[in-house]
């Protein structure tokens, strides 16, 4: 599989780490435009990569294509993008950090995506996007090829989380899940289950739901820049015992 098409913002040789934004299902890289604008305004030196995924429906192919971008990057994803970020970390890709907003939880929380399946069955891609992301999403954000949505959804529904490297709980590297303060109970249960079972620490982002990148790109950019700062501090301090 070829590497995804990439849009790069900021300096290509900016101070490390760079930031990788991974889009989820029923979206393209354009879903990140608000977050990119916030990052460019606050940290113009930061290199930001926004690849367009091929949406093959195969987790191994998707993570393999993203790995070159993810190495030594702060990986950022929402929904399916967060799920892919979690898979990259679990596979041992040497990320500098991550912000993973409400990834899939597999059998840990059965039925987490049931309402999305219902919306998809009822209204196709428009129903899928509305059920998953809410009113902040529009069909203009969806890929032209509806097959990409079908393949992505099948892949994310089949996803099962596996334990993360042991250093993650101690913040080495700073990998964090995030939960919207307005998200419903199943999302909260998913965050609790992922933290307990695979070791992904969670923070709460107040006054947002699932589609934080669309609802409050400024809030997500804040979280990303905090992790970038932590990653830079960790790099300056040298490797910890888990990465030596």
Using H for helix, E for strand and C for coil, what is the string for the chain?
CCCCEEEEECCCCCCCCEEEEECCCCCCHHHHHHHHHHHHHHCCCCCEEEEECCCCCCHHHHHHHHHHHHCCEEEEEECHHHHHHHHHHHCCCCCCEEEEECCCCHHHCCCCCHHHHHHHHHHHHHHHHHHHHCCCCCHHHCCCCHHHHHHHHHHHHHCCCCCCCHHHHHCCCCEEEEEECCCCHHHHHHHHHHHHHHCCCEEEECCCCCCHHHHCHHHHHHHHHHHHHHHHHHHHHCCCCCCC
Model confidence band, residue 243 (pLDDT cutoffs 50, 70, 90): very low
What share of the chain has pLDDT > 90, as a percent? 88
pTM here is 0.92
What share of the chain has pLDDT > 70, as a percent? 91
* CATH 3.40.50.1820 is the classification of domain 5-237: yes
pLDDT tens-digit map of 176-227: 999 999 999 999 999 999 999 999 999 999 999 999 999 999 999 999 999 9
In this structure, are residues 164 and 137 in contact, taking their beta carbons and an 8 Å threshold? Answer: no
Model confidence band, residue 244 (pLDDT cutoffs 50, 70, 90): very low
Q: What is the pLDDT of residue 235?
A: 79
**Is 104 or 10 the better-scoring residue by pLDDT?**
104
Model confidence band, residue 3 (pLDDT cutoffs 50, 70, 90): very low
Tell me which residue of 150, 155, 185 sits closest to 63, measured CA to CA: 155
Q: What is the pLDDT of residue 11?
A: 40
Residue 153 scores a pLDDT above 70: yes
Q: What mean pLDDT comes out for the span 226-230? A: 97
């Amino acid at each position: 599989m070829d590497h995804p098409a990439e849009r790069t913002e900021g300096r290509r040789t900016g101070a490390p780490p760079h930031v990788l934004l991974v889009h989820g299902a029923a979206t393209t890289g354009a879903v990140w435009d608000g977050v990119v604008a916030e990052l460019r305004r606050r940290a113009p030196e930061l290199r930001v990569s926004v690849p367009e995924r091929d949406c093959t429906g195969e987790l191994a192919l998707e993570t393999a294509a993203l790995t070159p971008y993810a190495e030594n990057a702060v990986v950022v994803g929402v929904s399916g993008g967060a799920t892919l970020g979690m898979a990259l970390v679990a596979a041992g890709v040497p990320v500098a950090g991550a912000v993973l907003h409400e990834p899939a939880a597999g059998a840990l929380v059965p039925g987490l995506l049931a309402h999305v399946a219902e919306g998809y069955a009822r209204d196709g891609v428009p129903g899928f996007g509305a059920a998953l992301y809410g009113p902040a999403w529009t069909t203009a954000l969806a890929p032209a090829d509806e097959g990409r949505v079908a393949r992505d959804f099948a892949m994310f529904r089949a996803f099962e989380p596996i334990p993360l490297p042991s250093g993650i709980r101690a913040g080495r590297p700073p990998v964090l899940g995030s939960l919207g303060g307005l998200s419903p109970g199943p999302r909260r249960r998913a965050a609790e289950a992922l933290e307990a079972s695979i070791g992904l620490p969670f923070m709460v982002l107040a006054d947002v739901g699932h589609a934080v990148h669309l609802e409050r790109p400024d809030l997500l950019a804040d979280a990303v820049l905090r992790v970038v700062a932590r990653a830079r501090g960790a790099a300056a301090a040298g490797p910890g015992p888990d990465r030596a």
